[in-house]
């Protein structure tokens, strides 16, 4: 009566066949789905959007250190006044975020912390300043900057945290090629 025993070779063979059929039925489609998800994630990240974690407080209160932002590559997006962009400054060996306030062909001037674009005062709704002192331009371009013309293919970027001068007030207008991406969303996943 060995054929009734669950440990018989015939029972084990039928059991193995059942497992193989289950793998064929469910495993292969799941494997195909898994590879498609990985492939699509790669395409999205490499060619459409990508996440970046904020490393500094230059854009405080809009972006804070530790925030996760999602960027689109610049070749997929128009750059407009007010956009937050991620820039790479090879000359300074750094990458940072800043806001576009000046477009090609415009003139920028800063007088006592007020920004003028083409001689009209700019409605600076994003500025955050904690230092009430006004520094003369001899000391710093933070609060006063002589008229700067923005060449074609260049943009004037400034931090929302205006007391930090790590922006176009220090570097000058940025070339389009130094803009790596445009912010689409902040903390989209609630991380």
Per residue in 30-89, pLDDT tens?
Answer: 888 888 888 777 776 666 677 888 888 778 778 888 888 888 876 657 889 999 999 998
Q: Which residues of 13-27 are buried (b: 16+ CB within 10 A; e: fewer)?
A: eeeeeeeeeeeeeee
Q: Which residues of 38-71 are buried (b: 16+ CB within 10 A; e: fewer)?
A: eeeeeeeeeeebbebebebbbbbebbeeebbbbb
Distance, in Å, from the CA atom of 191 to the CA atom of 178, rounded to the nearest integer, reads 28
Residue range 135-162, pLDDT digits in tens: 888 888 888 999 999 999 999 999 888 8
3-state secondary structure of 48: helix
Q: Token pair of 71, please?
A: 């960027």
């Amino acid at each position: 009566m060995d054929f009734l025993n669950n440990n018989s070779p015939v029972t084990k063979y039928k059991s193995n066949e059942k497992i193989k059929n289950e793998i064929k039925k469910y495993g292969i489609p799941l494997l195909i789905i898994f590879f498609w998800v990985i492939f699509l994630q790669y395409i999205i990240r490499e060619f459409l959007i990508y996440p970046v974690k904020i490393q500094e407080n230059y854009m405080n209160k809009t972006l804070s250190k530790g925030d996760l932002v999602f960027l689109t590559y610049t070749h997929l997006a128009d750059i407009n006044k007010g956009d937050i962009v991620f820039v790479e400054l090879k000359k300074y060996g750094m990458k940072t975020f800043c806001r576009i306030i000046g477009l090609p062909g415009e003139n920028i001037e800063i007088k006592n912390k007020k920004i003028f674009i083409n001689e009209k005062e700019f409605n600076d709704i994003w500025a955050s300043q904690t230092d009430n002192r006004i520094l003369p331009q001899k000391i710093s371009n933070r609060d006063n900057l002589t008229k700067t013309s923005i060449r074609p293919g260049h943009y004037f970027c400034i931090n929302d945290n205006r007391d930090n001068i790590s922006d176009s007030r220090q570097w000058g207008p940025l070339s389009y090629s130094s803009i790596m991406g445009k912010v689409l969303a902040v903390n989209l996943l609630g991380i």
